[in-house]
Amino acid sequence: MNFKLKTPKSKSSSLILSYVTLKDGKRFVYSTGQKIPVRLWDKSYQVPIRTKSQKDQLIINAVILRLDKIKTEYLRLDLQYQKLEKQLTKELLKDEFDVLFKGKQKKRLQMTLKAVLLTSVNLKTKREVGVNLLSKGT
């Protein structure tokens, strides 16, 4: 996994993007959600530059923590999918990262919740129809 700036020629800050080439040959790009002043980014090593400024170091440390977490989670997911003998695709990785870093629910869970809600609405509607038919008969 590597990182690069979204707008490296910016005069101020830029978002940091993570990217990796998956086993199927497709490239996965994901925003880290972190911004960094362009002057604090080492383009050749793709990491923040260490400085003596305490203010800069606070920014750099926060960015490094986030980048490490993203890299660690990618490696964990890759290993997990290998153990299951499944291929980690762009779509699966995006879903997993959205859950981990953006607090979204897994798509499978969302679909299950939607099915439960639809079933309960259908049951309620059928029950109301049955009650109405009974009341008309009396």
Domain boundaries, the chain: 2-104, 106-138
Q: Tens digits of per-residue pLDDT, 20-74?
A: 999 889 999 999 999 999 999 998 999 999 889 999 999 999 999 999 999 999 9
Cα–Cα distance, 114 to 120 (Å, whole number): 10
Cα–Cα distance, 58 to 99 (Å, whole number): 26
Q: Tens digits of per-residue pLDDT, 85-133?
A: 989 889 989 999 998 888 777 665 445 445 555 555 555 555 555 545 5
Neighbours of 106 (CB within 10 A): 12
Report long-range pairs for 26-35 (Cβ below 8 Å, ≥24 apart).
26/89, 26/90, 28/90, 28/93, 28/94, 30/70, 30/93, 30/94, 30/97, 31/6, 32/3, 32/66, 32/67, 32/70, 33/66, 33/101, 33/102, 34/62, 34/63, 34/66, 34/67
SS3 35: strand
The H or E element containing residue 103 is none
Q: Are 31 and 15 in contact (CB under 8 A)?
A: yes
Q: What is the pTM of this model?
A: 0.71
